[in-house]
Amino acid sequence: MNKKGKIEQEVKKTLEQFEKAEQLPPNPFFYSKLKALLDERRKQQNVFSVIFRPVLVISLVVINMGTALWFCSSGNGIYQIDTRQELLKILSGDLELSNQQINLFSNE
């Protein structure tokens, strides 16, 4: 037999292994193990829902309330401005403008 024929025969024999493939023997404990895994997971989920979920919800509520309180209390620094003169007065204080500079704006 020539070399090519020999190689082809080896390939054929190897591909025949598809038909000779062994099956896994039945595993009688498969379902029991699966059920144990599912039960374990359910327990962990219960722990999450009984302990962690309320803690998470309470933390979120506290954070929200804290943010709301902080926002309301910091509102004291916000000015209500009705006239141009009041605006200039506040700006001149913030920007440390001289009287001459203020006059420039008031004359516009």
Partner 1 sequence: MVNQNEEQLDFKFLVENTQEKVRNTCLRFVNNSEDADDIAQEVFIQVYDSLSHFRNESQLSTWIYRIAVNKSLDFLRKKKRKKRFAQLISLFGYEEDREEIDYPATGNPQNDMENKERKQILDWAVDELPDNQKTAIVLSKYEGFNNKEIADIMNLSLSAIEALIHRAKKNLHNRLYKYFKKQC
Tell me which DSSP letter residue 28 carries: T
Q: Which is nearer to partner 1, 41 or 84 (CB)?
A: 41
Minimum Å gap between C-beta 39 and partner 1 is 11
d(CA 95, CA 97): 6
Minimum Å gap between C-beta 46 and partner 1 is 15
d(CA 96, CA 89): 10
Q: Which is nearer to partner 1, 5 or 77 (CB)?
A: 5
d(CA 44, CA 99): 71
Q: How far is CA 80 from the centre of its chain?
A: 39
Q: Which is nearer to partner 1, 33 or 53 (CB)?
A: 33
Residues at the interface with partner 1 (CB under 8 A) = 3, 6-8, 10-11, 13-15, 17-18, 20-27, 30-31, 33-34, 37-38, 41
Q: Whats the size of the chain, residue-wise? A: 108
